[in-house]
Chain A
Amino acid sequence: MDWYSYIIIGFILAGLFFASALYAFHWASKNGQFHELEKGACSIFDDEEPLGKQTDFFPGHK
């Protein structure tokens, strides 16, 4: 392939990739993902695996 067309295609694709990252950041910001961070940090817990309880032990642990 011609070297210059190669470079141009590369730059276009890389630019699109970068733009998609910017868009993701913009979307997350608009969507409120960066607000109420303490609530977000607790989102991995629920009543099956609640906050304040250890959930993994060696087998046979009492």
Chain B
Amino acid sequence: MSAADSNTDMRIKLSAIDQSMKWPALFFIISATLWLLAGTALGLISSYKMHNPNFLGNWEWLTFGRTRSAHLNAVIYGWCNNAIFAVGLWIMARLCRTEIRHLGLLIVAGIFWNIAITIGIAGIFIGDMTSVEWLEMPTYITPLLAIAYALIGVWGIIAFRYRQSEHIYVSQWYILGALFWFPWIYSVAQIMILFEPARGTVQSLTNWWFAHNVLGLWLTPMALAAAYYFIPKVIGRPIHSYYLSILGFWTLALFYNWAGVHHIVGGPVPAWVISSGIVASVMMVIPVIVTAINHHMTAIGHFRQVIESPTLRFVVFGAMSYTLVSFIGSTMSLRSVNEISHFTHLTVGHAHHGVYAFFTMIMFGSIYFILPRLLYREWPSKILITCHFWFAALGITIMIVTLHVGGWIQGLEMNNPEIPFIEVMKGTVPWLKARTVSGFFLAIAHLAFAINVFWIVFFRQGQKDVIGTPTLFASKQSR
């Protein structure tokens, strides 16, 4: 304890930092929530079309190829990035013990980011999309996106530069790393695939290096930063082994960026490139085990706290999913496994396991912690939070299980020359229907979340004065 508050007097109060981040964080959280709803609707439409192709089939802008890509881009660049801008910058400001200044510019950059995504999604609908997965938005929005990102990302770096804290906490490492990694992978992919296309299969290598690194070097470090911040913070005890957490960061930085090429196992690229990708994918076991031990050992024996706190429920669910999804990912990169799982729905299930069960759940948990501290108000509905958690947890579990089992069967059948292709496709339909059901679960969860967010932000009347309730521990003392 003495170590923690030795120089407290010199530092800015946490509640003051929360107030300085109020408007940009609110803006990004509300944008993220709206994109989440749009992405969910597009995902549901796409999922329904998989077993009912005629659904909404009379409009060319709602054909499967477009709704599916619009879903992906709305979720990744709309929901995930806006959530990261809110959560990542807020954690960064808190850990750096510095107020974020010149907020107007940050909000303007955020507005431009969202305008660019909106134009990009509209471009996908009207048929301007590129054929490059994860980069489908038309190239005319790339400059706007790049400038907007630069103006947002630089805020994290400025906060770091003017930090008042001596020690760099592990979450700061993750956030700072990711703030540099994302523009690097995005601009390299844009240039090497779309603006100055590289030759032949180098494009596909770049494509999967990029797409996997959006998860590995952008979403993952941001979610891990949040988990490393919120699990010890909410429980009120330091992380189990701080040494391991630092080791986890540097090993992730070393191995993850090699792993993406396992997406083209069996493709017409040099075997050594694929092999190095497989080696890196298996080496990812090190940072994953390190993180799993740390999160588990910090939370163990505090099950009551996990149940009592909305933040911890979501964050611990996400942290457990991280362990599981990473082990499955390492296994899927092996050639013998990949020859079955490739080209099946298992890959889609795996992608949702990573981006939803791990990343999105942690972002939900973070937002449950952050919003009351920005607004000095309590979450208006406990039932909606419970509803959100259980529908999200059940929905994503159903989706992951059905797509993994159904995808594995599909892969085995496709490798069997006795079974006609059309029979294999028919066999997937029940699993795809189950996936649509899981999509409805998630839609209900997101509606509950969105109602709670808009309620706490826009409808102040009727909400209880929260000062004195334990949720807002910080505000109780600062007022």
Contacts and interface: CB of A to CB of B under 8 A. Distances in A.
Nearest to B378: A59
A10 B184 CA distance: 12
Interface size range on A against B: 35 or more
Contact of B4 (A33, A34, A37, A46): A46
Given A6-B198, A49-B473, A37 B243 contact: yes
A54 to B, nearest CB: 5
Q: Which 9 A-B pairs have the closest CB atoms?
A: A41-B238, A41-B242, A56-B309, A42-B4, A37-B242, A39-B3, A40-B167, A56-B311, A56-B234
Given A6-B198, A42-B238, A49 B233 contact: yes
B465 interface: no
Interface string B303-318: 0010011111000000
Contact of A52 (B11, B192, B236): B236
A27 B88 CA distance: 23
A44 B242 contact: no
Interface size range on B against A: 35 or more
B268 to A, nearest CB: 18
A32 B237 CA distance: 23
State the main secondary structure of chain A at its contact with B: loop
Nearest to A38: B242
Given A46-B14, A48-B13, A57 B308 contact: yes
B260 interface: no
Given A49-B473, A51-B1, A40 B242 contact: yes
Contact of A46 (B8, B167, B168, B237): B8
Nearest to A37: B242
A55 B234 contact: yes
A17 B378 CA distance: 44
A36 to B, nearest CB: 8
Given A37-B243, A50-B236, A21 B253 contact: yes
A15 to B, nearest CB: 13
A38 to B, nearest CB: 7
B199 interface: yes
A52 B471 CA distance: 15
Nearest to A35: B167
Contact of B1 (A21, A33, A50, A60): A50
B11 A54 contact: no
Contacts of B330: none
A1 B191 CA distance: 12
Contact of B469 (A13, A25, A59): A59
A59 B305 contact: no
A49 B474 contact: yes
Given A34-B246, A56-B234, A44 B380 contact: no
Interface of B: 1, 3-5, 8, 11, 13-15, 95, 165-169, 180, 184, 188, 192, 196, 198-199, 229, 232-239, 242-243, 246, 250, 253, 305, 308-312, 368-369, 378-382, 385-386, 469-471, 473-474, 477-478
Contacts of B168: 28, 33, 40
Nearest to B171: A44
B382 A60 contact: yes
A20 B312 CA distance: 35
B4 A61 contact: no
Contact of B309 (A40, A50, A58): A58
Contact of A57 (B95, B237, B309): B309
Given A17-B184, A21-B253, A41-B238, A58 B232 contact: no
A10 B253 CA distance: 19
A14 to B, nearest CB: 9
A51 B232 CA distance: 9
B233 A58 contact: no
Given A43-B4, A54-B309, A48 B477 contact: yes
Given A44-B233, A54-B234, A58-B308, A37 B246 contact: yes
